[in-house]
Amino acid sequence: MATMTISALQKMKQQGQKIASLTAYDASFAKLMTTEGVDFMLVGDSLGNVMQGLDSTVPVTMEHMVYHTTLVRRGAPDAFVMADMPFMSYSTPSQTYDNAAQLMQAGANMVKLEGGSWLIDTIKGLTTRGVPVCAHLGLLPQSVNVLGGYKVQGKQQQQADDTLEQALALEQAGAQLLVLECVPAALGKRISEALTIPTIGIGAGPDTDGQILVMHDMLGINSDYLPKFAKNFLAESGSLAGAFSTYVEQVRDGAFPGPEHCYK
Protein backbone atom coordinates (compact mmCIF):
# COMPACT_ATOMS: atom_id res chain seq x y z
CA MET A 1 0.00 0.00 0.00
CA ALA A 2 1.33 3.43 -0.94
CA THR A 3 2.29 5.69 1.94
CA MET A 4 -0.54 8.08 2.81
CA THR A 5 0.24 11.79 2.82
CA ILE A 6 -1.67 15.02 3.43
CA SER A 7 -1.72 15.71 -0.30
CA ALA A 8 -3.13 12.20 -0.94
CA LEU A 9 -5.91 12.86 1.61
CA GLN A 10 -6.56 16.20 -0.09
CA LYS A 11 -6.81 14.41 -3.44
CA MET A 12 -9.31 11.91 -1.98
CA LYS A 13 -11.54 14.84 -0.99
CA GLN A 14 -11.27 16.37 -4.47
CA GLN A 15 -12.16 13.05 -6.10
CA GLY A 16 -15.03 12.37 -3.70
CA GLN A 17 -13.38 9.26 -2.27
CA LYS A 18 -14.24 8.76 1.41
CA ILE A 19 -11.42 8.63 3.97
CA ALA A 20 -11.56 5.89 6.63
CA SER A 21 -9.62 6.45 9.84
CA LEU A 22 -9.51 5.01 13.35
CA THR A 23 -7.80 5.68 16.66
CA ALA A 24 -4.83 3.46 17.49
CA TYR A 25 -2.77 3.18 20.65
CA ASP A 26 -0.27 0.35 20.16
CA ALA A 27 1.92 -1.44 17.62
CA SER A 28 -0.17 -4.58 17.04
CA PHE A 29 -3.44 -2.83 16.24
CA ALA A 30 -1.67 -0.16 14.18
CA LYS A 31 -0.10 -2.85 12.03
CA LEU A 32 -3.42 -4.68 11.53
CA MET A 33 -5.32 -1.48 10.69
CA THR A 34 -2.75 -0.53 8.07
CA THR A 35 -2.89 -4.02 6.54
CA GLU A 36 -6.70 -3.79 6.32
CA GLY A 37 -6.64 -0.47 4.46
CA VAL A 38 -7.32 2.17 7.14
CA ASP A 39 -6.18 5.47 5.57
CA PHE A 40 -4.68 7.04 8.66
CA MET A 41 -4.59 6.58 12.41
CA LEU A 42 -5.10 9.01 15.25
CA VAL A 43 -3.24 8.41 18.49
CA GLY A 44 -6.12 9.88 20.47
CA ASP A 45 -6.09 11.29 23.96
CA SER A 46 -9.19 9.07 24.17
CA LEU A 47 -6.57 6.63 25.50
CA GLY A 48 -7.48 8.22 28.84
CA ASN A 49 -10.94 6.67 28.58
CA VAL A 50 -10.25 3.39 26.80
CA MET A 51 -6.71 2.47 27.91
CA GLN A 52 -6.47 4.10 31.33
CA GLY A 53 -10.07 3.77 32.54
CA LEU A 54 -10.48 7.49 33.23
CA ASP A 55 -13.80 9.32 32.85
CA SER A 56 -12.36 12.08 30.62
CA THR A 57 -9.32 12.92 28.51
CA VAL A 58 -8.26 15.76 30.84
CA PRO A 59 -5.71 13.77 32.95
CA VAL A 60 -3.81 12.51 29.84
CA THR A 61 -0.25 13.89 29.75
CA MET A 62 2.32 14.65 27.04
CA GLU A 63 4.35 11.72 28.33
CA HIS A 64 1.42 9.35 27.69
CA MET A 65 0.86 10.77 24.19
CA VAL A 66 4.53 10.51 23.23
CA TYR A 67 4.71 6.91 24.49
CA HIS A 68 1.63 5.73 22.54
CA THR A 69 2.67 7.64 19.39
CA THR A 70 6.01 5.82 19.50
CA LEU A 71 4.21 2.45 19.74
CA VAL A 72 1.84 3.17 16.84
CA ARG A 73 4.71 4.36 14.64
CA ARG A 74 6.69 1.21 15.46
CA GLY A 75 3.77 -1.00 14.40
CA ALA A 76 3.06 0.94 11.21
CA PRO A 77 6.31 2.48 9.98
CA ASP A 78 4.82 3.75 6.70
CA ALA A 79 1.36 4.85 7.90
CA PHE A 80 0.07 8.40 8.23
CA VAL A 81 -0.18 9.00 11.98
CA MET A 82 -1.82 11.93 13.69
CA ALA A 83 -1.41 12.60 17.43
CA ASP A 84 -3.59 14.57 19.84
CA MET A 85 -2.03 17.35 21.84
CA PRO A 86 -3.43 16.69 25.32
CA PHE A 87 -5.27 19.04 27.67
CA MET A 88 -3.42 22.34 28.34
CA SER A 89 -0.36 21.27 26.31
CA TYR A 90 -0.90 24.12 23.83
CA SER A 91 -1.90 27.08 25.99
CA THR A 92 1.13 29.26 25.15
CA PRO A 93 3.10 29.41 21.87
CA SER A 94 6.46 28.25 23.25
CA GLN A 95 4.86 25.39 25.18
CA THR A 96 2.91 24.40 22.04
CA TYR A 97 6.02 24.31 19.84
CA ASP A 98 8.00 22.23 22.35
CA ASN A 99 5.17 19.73 22.83
CA ALA A 100 4.38 19.45 19.12
CA ALA A 101 8.07 18.80 18.45
CA GLN A 102 7.99 15.91 20.94
CA LEU A 103 5.03 14.30 19.16
CA MET A 104 6.57 14.76 15.71
CA GLN A 105 9.86 13.28 16.93
CA ALA A 106 7.93 10.33 18.41
CA GLY A 107 6.61 9.57 14.91
CA ALA A 108 3.53 11.73 14.29
CA ASN A 109 2.98 13.22 10.83
CA MET A 110 0.50 15.78 12.16
CA VAL A 111 -0.82 17.07 15.50
CA LYS A 112 -4.45 17.70 16.42
CA LEU A 113 -5.69 20.60 18.56
CA GLU A 114 -9.20 21.17 19.94
CA GLY A 115 -10.74 24.62 19.69
CA GLY A 116 -11.85 27.49 17.52
CA SER A 117 -10.58 30.92 16.57
CA TRP A 118 -8.39 31.31 19.67
CA LEU A 119 -6.05 28.80 18.00
CA ILE A 120 -5.46 30.85 14.84
CA ASP A 121 -2.04 32.24 15.84
CA THR A 122 -1.02 28.85 17.27
CA ILE A 123 -1.84 27.10 14.00
CA LYS A 124 0.02 29.73 11.97
CA GLY A 125 3.02 29.34 14.27
CA LEU A 126 3.05 25.54 14.03
CA THR A 127 2.68 25.36 10.24
CA THR A 128 5.39 28.01 9.76
CA ARG A 129 7.66 25.76 11.82
CA GLY A 130 6.89 22.67 9.74
CA VAL A 131 4.28 21.04 11.97
CA PRO A 132 1.08 20.07 10.08
CA VAL A 133 -2.11 20.71 12.05
CA CYS A 134 -5.53 19.06 12.23
CA ALA A 135 -8.17 21.27 13.86
CA HIS A 136 -11.12 19.89 15.87
CA LEU A 137 -14.54 21.57 16.22
CA GLY A 138 -17.97 20.59 17.56
CA LEU A 139 -17.84 18.58 20.76
CA LEU A 140 -14.44 19.16 22.37
CA PRO A 141 -13.77 16.37 24.90
CA GLN A 142 -11.00 18.38 26.60
CA SER A 143 -13.55 21.16 27.30
CA VAL A 144 -16.16 18.79 28.73
CA ASN A 145 -16.09 20.65 32.07
CA VAL A 146 -16.93 23.95 30.35
CA LEU A 147 -19.51 22.42 27.99
CA GLY A 148 -21.28 20.74 30.92
CA GLY A 149 -21.04 17.21 29.54
CA TYR A 150 -20.85 15.34 26.24
CA LYS A 151 -23.58 17.04 24.21
CA VAL A 152 -24.30 17.56 20.52
CA GLN A 153 -22.97 20.96 19.40
CA GLY A 154 -24.21 23.34 16.69
CA LYS A 155 -27.94 22.60 16.96
CA GLN A 156 -28.94 26.27 17.15
CA GLN A 157 -28.58 28.35 13.98
CA GLN A 158 -26.22 30.88 15.62
CA GLN A 159 -23.99 28.13 17.00
CA ALA A 160 -23.94 26.40 13.59
CA ASP A 161 -23.00 29.65 11.83
CA ASP A 162 -20.23 30.27 14.38
CA THR A 163 -18.85 26.76 13.87
CA LEU A 164 -18.73 27.26 10.10
CA GLU A 165 -17.04 30.65 10.54
CA GLN A 166 -14.43 29.12 12.85
CA ALA A 167 -13.82 26.22 10.45
CA LEU A 168 -13.10 28.68 7.63
CA ALA A 169 -10.79 30.72 9.89
CA LEU A 170 -8.85 27.62 10.98
CA GLU A 171 -8.39 26.54 7.35
CA GLN A 172 -7.22 30.07 6.51
CA ALA A 173 -4.71 29.88 9.39
CA GLY A 174 -3.16 26.76 7.85
CA ALA A 175 -5.00 23.74 9.29
CA GLN A 176 -4.87 20.94 6.72
CA LEU A 177 -7.55 18.66 8.18
CA LEU A 178 -10.60 19.24 10.36
CA VAL A 179 -12.26 16.78 12.73
CA LEU A 180 -15.96 17.51 13.36
CA GLU A 181 -17.41 15.77 16.42
CA CYS A 182 -21.06 15.38 17.41
CA VAL A 183 -22.71 17.98 15.20
CA PRO A 184 -25.97 17.70 13.23
CA ALA A 185 -25.51 15.96 9.85
CA ALA A 186 -26.69 19.09 8.01
CA LEU A 187 -23.89 21.14 9.62
CA GLY A 188 -21.32 18.44 8.79
CA LYS A 189 -22.39 18.70 5.16
CA ARG A 190 -22.39 22.49 5.14
CA ILE A 191 -18.87 22.77 6.58
CA SER A 192 -17.47 20.00 4.34
CA GLU A 193 -18.78 21.77 1.24
CA ALA A 194 -17.41 25.16 2.37
CA LEU A 195 -13.85 23.97 3.08
CA THR A 196 -11.14 22.93 0.64
CA ILE A 197 -9.40 20.80 3.30
CA PRO A 198 -10.76 17.31 4.16
CA THR A 199 -13.25 17.04 7.01
CA ILE A 200 -13.27 13.91 9.17
CA GLY A 201 -16.50 13.27 11.05
CA ILE A 202 -17.27 11.43 14.24
CA GLY A 203 -21.01 11.73 14.72
CA ALA A 204 -21.12 14.48 12.05
CA GLY A 205 -23.22 12.69 9.41
CA PRO A 206 -22.43 10.95 6.12
CA ASP A 207 -21.36 14.02 4.12
CA THR A 208 -18.00 14.73 5.74
CA ASP A 209 -15.02 13.73 3.59
CA GLY A 210 -14.11 10.92 5.95
CA GLN A 211 -15.03 9.15 9.18
CA ILE A 212 -13.15 8.33 12.34
CA LEU A 213 -14.18 6.13 15.27
CA VAL A 214 -12.54 5.19 18.55
CA MET A 215 -11.22 1.66 18.00
CA HIS A 216 -12.77 0.32 21.21
CA ASP A 217 -16.19 1.63 20.19
CA MET A 218 -16.14 0.06 16.73
CA LEU A 219 -15.00 -3.26 18.21
CA GLY A 220 -17.75 -3.11 20.85
CA ILE A 221 -15.25 -3.49 23.70
CA ASN A 222 -15.91 -0.16 25.37
CA SER A 223 -18.03 -1.83 28.02
CA ASP A 224 -19.82 1.25 29.38
CA TYR A 225 -21.88 2.17 26.34
CA LEU A 226 -21.85 2.44 22.55
CA PRO A 227 -22.23 6.05 21.36
CA LYS A 228 -25.09 6.74 18.94
CA PHE A 229 -22.58 7.50 16.15
CA ALA A 230 -20.66 4.22 16.52
CA LYS A 231 -21.34 0.69 15.34
CA ASN A 232 -19.99 -2.69 16.47
CA PHE A 233 -18.09 -3.91 13.40
CA LEU A 234 -16.58 -6.87 15.26
CA ALA A 235 -20.02 -8.37 15.91
CA GLU A 236 -20.83 -7.98 12.23
CA SER A 237 -17.62 -9.47 10.84
CA GLY A 238 -16.46 -11.95 13.48
CA SER A 239 -12.73 -11.11 13.43
CA LEU A 240 -10.52 -8.13 14.18
CA ALA A 241 -9.14 -7.98 10.64
CA GLY A 242 -12.68 -8.34 9.30
CA ALA A 243 -13.94 -5.54 11.56
CA PHE A 244 -11.33 -3.11 10.22
CA SER A 245 -11.79 -4.07 6.56
CA THR A 246 -15.62 -3.97 6.85
CA TYR A 247 -15.40 -0.53 8.43
CA VAL A 248 -13.18 0.74 5.59
CA GLU A 249 -15.49 -0.78 2.99
CA GLN A 250 -18.66 0.69 4.54
CA VAL A 251 -17.12 4.17 4.89
CA ARG A 252 -15.92 4.02 1.27
CA ASP A 253 -19.28 2.99 -0.19
CA GLY A 254 -21.33 5.29 2.07
CA ALA A 255 -23.08 2.52 4.01
CA PHE A 256 -21.62 3.92 7.25
CA PRO A 257 -22.71 6.11 8.92
CA GLY A 258 -26.39 5.34 8.38
CA PRO A 259 -29.27 7.61 9.44
CA GLU A 260 -29.37 5.87 12.84
CA HIS A 261 -25.80 7.08 13.57
CA CYS A 262 -26.56 10.75 12.83
CA TYR A 263 -27.82 13.78 14.76
CA LYS A 264 -30.55 16.02 13.35
Cβ neighbors of 204 (< 8 A, separation 6 or more) are: 138, 180, 181, 182, 183, 185, 187, 188
The runs of H, that is alpha helices, within 17-56 are 27-35, 47-50
Residues tagged in the binding site annotation for 3-methyl-2-oxobutanoate:
45-46, 84, 112
Which percentage of the chain shows pLDDT scores above 90? 91
The pLDDT assigned to 224 comes to 67
Query: Which option is the CATH number for 6-261: 3.90.1570.10, 3.20.20.60, 3.10.20.30, 3.30.420.10?
Result: 3.20.20.60
User: Which of 171, 181, 249, 260 is flagged as catalytic?
Assistant: 181
Q: What is the pLDDT along the chain (264 residues), one digit of tens a residue?
A: 458 999 999 999 999 999 999 999 999 999 999 999 999 999 999 999 999 999 899 999 999 999 999 999 999 999 999 999 999 999 998 999 999 999 999 999 999 999 999 999 999 999 999 999 999 999 999 898 787 777 889 999 999 999 999 999 999 999 999 999 999 999 999 999 999 999 999 999 999 999 999 999 999 997 667 899 999 999 999 999 999 999 999 999 999 999 999 999
Residues tagged in the binding site annotation for Mg(2+):
45, 84, 114
CA-closest candidate to residue 104, choices 138, 122, 131, 124:
131
Instruction: Clarify whether 181 is annotated catalytic.
Output: yes
The pLDDT assigned to 144 comes to 83
Residues tagged in the binding site annotation:
45-46, 84, 112, 114
User: Where do the structural domains in the chain lie, given as residue ranges?
Assistant: 6-261
